[in-house]
A and B are shown apart, each in its own frame.
Chain A
Amino acid sequence: MSTQNTRVQEQLSKQPKVLWRNILVFGISAVIILFSLDYINYRGLTETGVEIAFNILKSVFTPNLPFLLNFTTKTGVPYLILETAAIAFLGTIIGSIISIPLAFLSSRNIVPAWFTHIGVAMITVIRTFPAVVYGLMFIRVTGPGAFTGVLTLAIASVGMVSKLFIETIEELDPGIIEALDASGCSGIQKVQYGIIPQLLSNFLSTAIYRFEINVKYATILGMVGAGGIGAPLIFAINAYRWGDAGALLIGLIIFVLIVEAISTFLRKKLA
């Protein structure tokens, strides 16, 4: 055996032994899967399952065109999408505005450490409730419609947005503020030139990202009657009106793709 070969052998024997770890990981996974299969109770397709799956596919390619291209009345797909966009936009704006003070009061470099626990606990509690439950709570306040959707998305956004805001605030560079202090800036000037420029682009980026999520969330709102494209879509699918469902799905796909593209573009510019 040549020297080089022994070296390779030596190196190989130094590698960590992963066999037992792998067996353990796969064993645990296998046990979990076997247990889960019992819960999932696959009973095969429904009698009409295949036919329905085929209809769903067909519907996206043969949508109800008059419904999809109805730009004039309030019952067409374009108006529903516009409404969804408006709900998501206002929801994001209000959610972000609520998040700003909440985030400042939960950041370790702004307030004492013990105080941050109050804010963080509040955010955790707000995050617990599913959006659907908020929807039902707000329906009592404002009745079914787009207004309820706005409020629901606003409060559903607070959890994630304020978490990301806190991260941004905690990364504030104190050096810049000290430098402004040293050059004799007043408090307002320090905020204007030292703090806002550091936070603004990250805050906007977070808000834009959340808008993207809210647009998708808007479908969930349909379930509780909180406006937007969700309710008509769910009704169309449940009633097997495949032409309408196809039109709504195409509208939703195009709309989400456009929003994603704009959001990625804007966030790249802000970064």
Chain B
Amino acid sequence: MDKIKQFILPKPITLGNGKVVQPKMSPAIYVVPILAFITIYSVNLTKFKLETLFRRGYQFFVILDGMIPPNFAYFDKVWAPLVATIMMSVIGTLVGSILALPAAYLSSENMMKSKFVKFITKAFFSVVRTFPILVLALLFRIIFGIGAFAGTMAIGVFTFTIMTKMFYELIDTADMGPFEAIMSSGASRIQAFWSAIMPQLWGQYYSLILYNFEMNIRNAAVLGYVGAGGIGIILNERLGWRLYPDVGLILLVMMVTVYLIETLSRTIRKNLL
């Protein structure tokens, strides 16, 4: 009991020089009950039952078991959608990243003087960023029809919003000295931005593009689910037909691709920074 009391209301400590210090109450006193309450509430709401998990847990491995060994003969059919997925990501990432450059300028604290423009762009991008990529893909599929173009648009818009945020945060922290020097020689704000701020940031900008590209390769895999092109389409189809050895091969191919692209992009990024 004493220990609990000591934990909730720590006793004042008298230091060697006679000074009395009152230790702070631990934040755990209110954080733990709040977390416990939310957890219990969520368990009830989601009907979470450990017992079901133990009783039927083996079912989880049924599909996994079906995937091994993968059906390597299926590789011929995986090739084309895989390339399409990569191409969708390339174009989407590039277009989104290029558009993000002026958008980031418009929302950065130190470049954009007009508070109104800053507020409008920031609010717009915050709202668009809340859209999950899947919802974007779904909307674009309805507008542009089934196929890779809808997926590319979804990746493009998604990258555009994320890159804008990441890049204006970089602009905000850039060194303003060269910018002011060029401004004082009579350049316009945009000229000064281009020749004083951007040279500081090109490396990080390329690095962000590659980072987004890595992310988009992973994202592109699910887009097929809503008919937005790429490897997701055959993944969805094979899962629907319960051809799990084919699914196993698709996942294996995706794993290798993602691994190769991540390794490549990380090597390049290390040399950029």
**Using a CB–CB distance below 8 Å, which chain A residues touch chain B?**
29, 32-33, 35-37, 39-46, 49, 52-53, 56, 82-83, 85-87, 89-90, 93, 124, 128-133, 136-138, 140-142, 145-147, 149-151, 216-217, 219-220, 223, 227, 233-234, 237-238, 249, 252-253, 256-257, 260
Chain B: minimal CB distance from A117 (Å): 15
Q: B64 to A234, Cβ gap below 8 A? A: no
Query: A86 vs B41: C-alpha distance in the bound complex, in angstroms?
Result: 8
Distance of B125 from chain A, by nearest CB (Å) = 12
Are A37's CB and B46's CB within 8 A?
no
Complex-state Cα separation, A52 to B221, whole angstroms: 26
Contacts A41-B148, A141-B53 known; A90 to B60 CB distance under 8 Å?
Answer: no
Establish whether residues B42 and A35, one from each chain, have CB atoms under 8 Å apart when the complex forms: no
Q: Which residues of A contact B143 (CB under 8 A)?
A: 45-46, 49, 52-53, 56
Shortest distance in angstroms between B238's beta carbon and chain A's nearest beta carbon?
11
| B257 CB to nearest A CB, Å | 11
Q: A40-B152, A223-B134 are in contact. Are A90 and B42 (CB under 8 A)?
A: yes
B138 near A149: Cβ-Cβ < 8 Å: no
Chain B, residue nearest A93 (CB)? B39
Chain A residue nearest in CB terms to B258: A128
Residue B60 contacts which of A29, A137, A217, A223 (CB distance < 8 angstroms)?
A: A137
Does the CB pair B87–A36 fall under 8 Å?
Answer: yes
Contacts of A44 in B (CB 8 A): 144
B201 at the interface (CB under 8 A from A): no
Contact A41 B144 (CB under 8 A): no
Given A132-B222, A237-B138, CB of A141 within 8 Å of CB of B45: no
Bound complex: CA of A140 vs CA of B83, how far in Å? 32
Cα A97 to Cα B240 in complex, Å, equals: 32
Given contacts A33-B90, A40-B149, could you give 7 more A-B pairs where the C-beta distance is less than 8 Å? A36-B91, A43-B147, A43-B149, A87-B46, A128-B255, A138-B60, A146-B46
- Tell me the residues in window 16-68 of chain B with beta carbons closer than 8 Å to chain A beta carbons: 35, 38-39, 41-43, 45-49, 52-53, 56-57, 59-60, 62-64
CB distance B134 to A220 under 8 Å? Answer: yes
Contacts A128-B254, A150-B48 given; indicate if A43 touches B145 (C-beta within 8 A).
Answer: yes
- Least CB distance from B85 to A in Å reads 9
User: How would you classify the secondary structure of chain A's contact residues: helix, strand, loop or mixed?
Assistant: helix
Interface of B is mostly: helix
Residues of A within 8 A of B221 (CB): 130
Please tell me if the beta carbons of B130 and A41 are within 8 angstroms of each other in the complex. Answer: no
Which residues of chain A are within 8 angstroms of B259 by Cβ–Cβ distance? 124
Known contacts being A53-B143, A128-B258, A133-B251, is A140 close to B130, with CB within 8 Å? Answer: no
Please indicate the chain A residues that have their CB under 8 angstroms from the CB of B110 in the complex. none
B80 to chain A, nearest CB (A): 9
B31 to chain A, nearest CB (A): 9
Residues of chain B lying within 8 A (CB to CB) of residue A150: 46, 48
Q: Across the interface, which residues of B come within 8 angstroms of A138, CB to CB?
A: 60
A257 contacts across to B, CB distance below 8 A: 126-127, 130
- Of the four ranges (under 10, 10 to 19, 20 to 34, 35 or more), the interface on chain B belongs to 35 or more
Residues A40 and B63 in contact in the complex (CB < 8 Å), given A33-B94, A83-B45, A128-B258: no
- Which residues on A sit within 8 Å (CB–CB) of B64? 137
Contacts of B43 in A (CB 8 A): 90
A142 touches B53 (CB 8 A): yes
Q: Which residues of B contact A32 (CB under 8 A)?
A: 90
- Closest A residue to B254 by beta carbon equals A128
Chain A proximity of B6: nearest CB distance (Å): 13
Q: Does B260 have its Cβ within 8 Å of any Cβ on chain A?
A: no
Residue among A36, A137, A216, A238 facing the most chain B CB atoms (10 A cut-off) = A36
Q: Assess the A137–B225 pair: CB atoms within 8 A.
A: no
One digit per residue, 1 when the CB lies within 8 angstroms of any chain A CB and 0 when it does not, for chain B 142-168 equals 111101110010000000000000000
Q: Closest B-chain residue to A83, C-beta based?
A: B45
In the complex, chain A residues whose CB is within 8 Å of the CB of B131: 249, 252-253
Does B87 lie within 8 Å of A39, measured CB to CB?
yes
B134 and A219 contacting across the interface, CB-CB below 8 Å: yes
Give the contacting residue for A220; candidates B90, B132, B255; CB below 8 A. B132
Contact in complex: A137, B63 (CB < 8 Å): yes
Is B8 part of the contact surface with A, judged by Cβ < 8 Å?
A: no
Chain B residue nearest in CB terms to A255: B130
The residues in B between 195 and 231 inclusive whose CB is less than 8 angstroms from any CB of A are 218, 221-222, 225-226
